[in-house]
C-alpha cells in the first residue's frame, strides 16, 4: 500500500536581493524542484542531500507545515495542508533542531499532556510509554523539566513524544544531530527495533550516513531540489563504481610492473612493502594468492561517505 | 513495534464533545502548571503591582478630592480605589503587557511544532492562556486586592449578580486579550519581527483599556467611540466597572455582552489571520 506519494512537488521561495543602493530585486528560489516519489507502507527511507538541498522543505510539505507551490502530495490518503490536524493524528514528527515538548514542564507531564491532545486511550498510552521507557532509558530524567535535559536526553524524549499516539508514519529530520556516540547508538537501535515490526513507515533525513547504513534499505538522494538517486545503498555503490580495497603488507618490496587480473594497483608505500589494490572483478583470495611473501592484509569496504561526497560533487 | 502500532480513532465516536473538553482542560492545566513553576517571579510581580497600586490610588483619590462634585467620571472615592486595585490585579490576568510567545516562536521557526499538533493553533494558544489566567487570578489578582482592602476603603458590590457577572466579564476579557495578542504577535508571520506592533500595542493598550485613568474621565463621545469601535475597554475598564457597579444593571450586563461580541470577533479574526499566514509560511531557521 502506498502511504506517501509526491508528484511534481515544488516549493519556491521568494528572496529579495540587494540590487543597488535602495533597490532590492525579487528572486525566486526553488527549494524543491519537482519531486516524484512514492513510499510504501513499512518502508524505511533515508532521505539525504547536502545542506540546502531541500530535505527539510520536503518533510515540511509532507507534514502539512508548508504549502507546496505546485504538484500533488498525499500522506496516509490525506492532503497534508488542508487536512493537517487529521493527518497529525496519523504521523509522528521529530525535527532534530526543534522541540515539541513543553519547555517548563517535566517530561512526564509533557507525555500525559500529549495523551490528551491526541486522545489516546489510557491503556494504549501506558503500554507505549512503558516500552519507550525501557528501550530509551527514560526513567532517570522523567521528572526533570525539559529545559534542564541534555540534548541526548531531550532527543529520546522527542522520539517518545512522536510515538505515543501510535503513528503510521514517522518523519525524522536529523534525529541524531549533535548527539554523542552513545546517544546516537541508542537512537539508532531504538529505531531499528521499531522498524523490525514492519508496520511503521519511516522517513529519515540525516547527514550521518551511519544512520542510513544501519536503518534504511532505500536511499533517496536529493540535490538542488531534485532526486538524483533512488535505490539501495548497493545500487549507489554500483552506480559510482565504488570498490572494495585490499591493503597488503609484504616481506619483500612489490616487484615493479606487478599485475594481477581483476585488481588494480592504486599505490605503494614504504618502498613497496605496502600496496593498496582496488578489486575490480576478482575475489580478494585470487589477489592474495598471486602475491609473493605476504605478511599481513586488510580488506576495506567501500565507504558510503566517499560515494555520497562524489555524488554531491558531480550533481 | 509491538503495542506501538495501534491507530488513533480520528474522531472518537459517541462522545466527541467530552473528549474535546478533556483536551482543552489538559491544555489549560499545562498553562497553569507552566506559570506555577516560576514562584519568585510571581512574588516579585505581585510586589511591583502593589507598589504601583499605591501610587495610582493616591493620584486618583487626589483627583476625586479636587473634583467639584467629588465624583469624577461618576465614581466616588471607594469606587475609584476599587477601580485601581482591581486594575492592578487584572493587569497580569489579561496579560496586558509582555506576551511575545507566538511572535518569538514564529521568529525562531518553532511555530512548526504548533502546527504539527492535532489542535487548531488558536485553540492551542487559547486553552493554555486560560490556565495561565487562572493562575494569575489566584496569585496576581487576589494579593493586590487584599492589600488594597487593608489600606483603603473599597467598594462592596450591592447587587447579587455582580460577582458572577464579574467572573464572566474577566473570562471574556482574557479571551479578548488573547485574541488581540495573537493578532499582534501574528504580524511576525509577515514582518519576521513583531517588536514594532508589540510596542504600539503596549503603549495603546494601557490608555485605551483604561489602565492609566478611567475612560469615563474622557468626554462621552470619545469614551463611547473607544468602547464600541475598539476591543480595548473590554480588557480592564469593563470588568472594573462591573465590579464597582458604575452603571445601572441593564448597562452593566450590556457592557459584558459587548465584550462577548468582541471576543468572538477577535477569535474569528485570529483564526482567519492564522489561515492566511499558513499559506505563506516560511519556517525560519531550517
Please check whether residue B173 lies inside any domain of the structure: yes
Give, in degrees to the nearest 5, the angle at Cα A193 between A189 and A194.
120
pLDDT at A146 over 80: yes
Which of B2, B34, B282 is facing A13, going by the closest CB pair?
A: B282
E strand map for A206-290: 218-223, 226-231, 245-250, 263-269, 274-279
pLDDT at B14 over 80: no
Please check whether residue B286 lies inside any domain of the structure: no
The answer to whether the beta carbons of residues B232 and B226 sit under 8 Å apart is yes
In chain A, what residues touch B112 (CB-CB under 8 Å)? 60, 65, 95, 98
Least confident window among A260-264, A293-297, B12-16, B27-31: B12-16
In chain A, what residues touch B34 (CB-CB under 8 Å)? 102, 104-105
Please check whether residue B107 lies inside any domain of the structure: yes
Tell me the pLDDT tens digit for each residue of A228-249.
889 888 888 887 777 788 898 9
Mean pLDDT of B273-279: 89
Give the number of A-B residue pairs with CB atoms closer than 8 Å.
117
B205 vs A73, B184, B261, CA distance in Å? 44, 12, 19
Which of A13, A109, A193 is facing B1, going by the closest CB pair?
A: A193
Q: Is A85's CB within 8 Å of B119's CB?
A: yes
Residue of A65, A68, A199 to mutate, interface with B, max B Cβ within 10 Å: A65
CB atoms within 10 A of CB A72: 12
Per-residue DSSP letter, A106: B
In chain B, what residues touch A56 (CB-CB under 8 Å)? 283, 286
Distance CA A93, CA A255 (A): 59
* Cell triple for A222: 536529493
Q: Write down the pLDDT at residue B150.
A: 94
Nearest of A93, A107, A88, A98 to residue A159 by alpha carbon: A93
Q: Write down the pLDDT at residue B1.
A: 44
* A122 at B interface, C-beta within 8 A: no
SS (H, E, C) A179-212: CCHHHHHHHHHHHHHHHHCCCCEEEEECCCHHHH
Please check whether residue B31 lies inside any domain of the structure: yes
Q: Which domain holds residue B207?
A: 18-280
The answer to whether the beta carbons of residues A226 and A33 sit under 8 Å apart is yes
B15 vs A121, A123, B47, CA distance in Å? 13, 18, 45
pLDDT at B232 over 50: yes
User: What is the ipTM for the molecules in this complex?
Assistant: 0.79
Three-state DSSP state, A9: strand
Q: Is B110's CB within 8 Å of A56's CB?
A: no
Q: Write down the pLDDT at residue A306.
A: 77
- The residues facing A172 across adjacent strands are A94, A204
Distance CA A156, CA A145 (A): 14
The answer to whether the beta carbons of residues A113 and B147 sit under 8 Å apart is no
pLDDT at B7 over 50: no
Please check whether residue B2 lies inside any domain of the structure: no
pLDDT at A219 over 70: yes
Q: Write down the pLDDT at residue B11.
A: 46
Tell me the pLDDT tens digit for each residue of A17-67.
888 888 888 888 888 899 999 999 989 999 988 888 888 899 999 999 888
Distance CA A48, CA A236 (A): 13
Q: What is the DSSP string of A146-177?
A: GGGS-HHHHHHHHHHHHHTT--SEEEEESTTT
A59 vs A1, A31, A196, B131, B147, CA distance in Å? 20, 12, 23, 33, 55
Q: Where are the alpha helices (DSSP H) in A50-180?
A: 55-62, 84-88, 107-117, 122-136, 151-163
pTM attached to this predicted model? 0.85
Mean pLDDT of B10-31: 79
Q: Is A117's CB within 8 Å of B1's CB?
A: no
pLDDT at B281 over 80: no
Mean pLDDT of B85-112: 90
Mean pLDDT of B270-281: 88
B36 vs A23, A72, B39, B40, B131, CA distance in Å? 50, 46, 6, 10, 10
Residue of B116, B124, B275, B277 to mutate, interface with A, max A Cβ within 10 Å: B116
Q: Is B281's CB within 8 Å of A89's CB?
A: no
Mean pLDDT of B103-107: 90
Please check whether residue B13 lies inside any domain of the structure: no
Q: Write down the pLDDT at residue A243.
A: 78
Q: Write down the pLDDT at residue B283.
A: 62
Please check whether residue B8 lies inside any domain of the structure: no
Number of structural domains chain B divides into: 1
Mean pLDDT of A141-146: 92
Closest alpha carbon within chain B to A121: B8
Please check whether residue B129 lies inside any domain of the structure: yes
Amino acid at each position: 500500500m502506498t502511504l506517501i506519494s509526491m508528484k511534481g512537488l515544488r516549493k519556491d521561495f521568494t528572496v529579495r536581493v540587494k540590487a543597488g543602493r535602495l533597490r532590492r530585486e525579487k528572486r525566486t528560489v526553488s527549494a524543491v524542484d519537482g519531486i516524484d516519489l512514492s513510499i510504501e507502507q513499512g518502508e524505511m527511507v533515508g532521505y539525504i542531500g547536502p545542506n540546502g538541498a531541500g530535505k527539510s522543505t520536503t518533510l515540511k510539505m509532507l507534514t502539512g507545515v508548508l504549502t507546496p507551490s505546485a504538484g500533488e502530495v498525499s500522506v496516509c490518503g490525506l492532503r497534508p495542508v488542508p487536512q493537517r490536524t487529521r493527518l497529525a493524528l496519523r504521523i509522528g514528527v521529530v525535527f532534530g533542531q526543534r522541540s515539541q515538548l513543553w519547555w517548563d514542564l517535566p517530561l512526564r507531564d509533557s507525555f500525559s499532556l500529549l495523551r490528551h491532545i491526541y486522545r489516546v486511550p489510557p491503556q494504549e498510552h501506558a503500554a507505549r510509554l512503558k516500552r519507550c521507557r525501557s528501550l530509551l532509558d527514560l526513567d532517570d530524567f522523567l521528572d526533570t523539566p525539559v529545559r534542564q535535559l541534555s540534548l541526548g536526553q531531550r532527543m529520546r524524549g522527542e522520539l517518545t513524544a512522536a510515538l505515543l499516539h501510535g503513528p503510521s508514519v514517522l518523519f525524522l529530520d536529523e534525529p541524531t544531530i549533535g548527539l554523542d556516540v552513545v546517544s546516537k547508538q541508542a537512537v539508532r537501535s531504538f529505531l531499528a527495533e521499531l522498524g523490525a515490526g514492519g508496520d511503521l513507515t519511516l522517513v529519515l533525513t540525516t547527514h550521518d550516513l551511519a544512520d542510513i547504513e544501519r536503518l534504511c534499505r532505500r536511499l533517496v538522494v536529493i540535490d538542488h531540489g531534485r532526486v538524483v538517486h533512488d535505490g539501495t545503498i548497493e545500487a549507489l555503490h554500483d552506480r559510482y563504481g565504488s570498490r572494495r580495497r585490499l591493503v597488503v603488507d609484504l616481506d619483500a618490496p612489490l616487484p615493479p610492473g606487478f599485475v594481477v587480473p581483476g585488481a588494480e594497483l592504486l599505490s605503494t608505500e614504504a618502498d613497496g612493502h605496502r600496496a593498496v589494490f582496488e578489486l575490480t572483478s576478482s575475489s580478494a583470495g585470487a589477489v592474495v594468492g598471486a602475491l609473493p611473501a605476504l605478511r599481513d592484509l586488510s580488506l576495506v569496504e567501500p565507504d558510503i561517505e566517499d560515494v555520497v561526497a562524489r555524488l554531491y560533487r558531480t550533481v | 513495534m509491538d503495542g506501538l502500532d495501534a491507530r488513533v480513532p480520528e474522531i472518537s465516536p459517541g462522545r466527541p464533545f467530552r473528549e474535546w473538553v478533556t483536551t482543552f482542560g489538559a491544555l489549560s492545566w499545562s498553562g497553569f502548571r507552566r506559570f506555577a513553576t516560576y514562584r519568585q517571579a510571581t512574588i516579585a510581580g505581585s510586589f511591583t503591582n502593589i507598589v504601583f497600586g499605591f501610587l495610582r490610588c493616591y493620584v486618583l483619590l487626589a483627583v476625586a478630592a479636587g473634583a467639584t462634585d467629588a465624583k469624577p467620571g461618576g465614581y466616588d472615592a471607594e469606587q475609584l480605589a476599587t477601580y485601581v486595585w482591581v486594575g492592578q490585579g487584572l493587569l497580569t490576568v489579561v496579560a496586558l503587557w509582555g506576551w511575545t510567545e507566538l511572535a518569538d516562536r514564529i521568529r525562531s521557526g518553532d511555530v512548526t511544532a504548533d502546527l504539527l499538533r492535532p489542535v487548531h493553533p488558536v485553540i492551542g494558544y487559547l486553552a493554555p492562556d486560560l490556565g495561565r489566567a487562572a493562575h494569575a487570578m489566584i496569585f496576581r489578582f487576589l494579593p493586590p486586592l487584599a492589600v488594597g482592602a487593608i489600606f483603603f476603603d473599597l467598594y462592596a458590590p450591592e447587587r447579587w449578580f455582580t460577582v458572577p457577572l464579574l467572573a464572566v466579564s474577566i473570562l471574556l476579557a482574557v479571551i479578548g486579550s488573547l485574541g488581540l495578542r495573537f493578532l499582534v504577535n501574528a504580524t511576525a508571520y509577515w514582518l519576521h519581527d513583531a517588536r514594532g506592533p508589540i510596542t504600539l500595542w503596549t503603549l495603546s493598550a494601557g490608555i485605551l483599556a483604561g489602565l492609566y485613568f478611567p475612560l469615563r474621565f474622557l468626554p462621552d463621545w470619545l469614551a463611547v467611540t473607544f468602547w464600541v469601535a475598539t476591543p480595548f475597554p473590554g480588557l480592564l475598564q469593563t470588568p472594573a466597572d462591573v465590579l464597582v457597579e458604575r452603571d445601572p444593571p441593564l448597562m452593566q450586563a450590556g457592557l459584558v455582552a459587548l465584550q462577548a461580541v468582541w471576543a468572538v470577533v477577535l477569535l474569528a479574526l485570529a483564526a482567519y489571520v492564522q489561515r492566511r499566514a499558513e499559506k505563506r509560511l516560511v519556517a525560519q531557521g531550517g
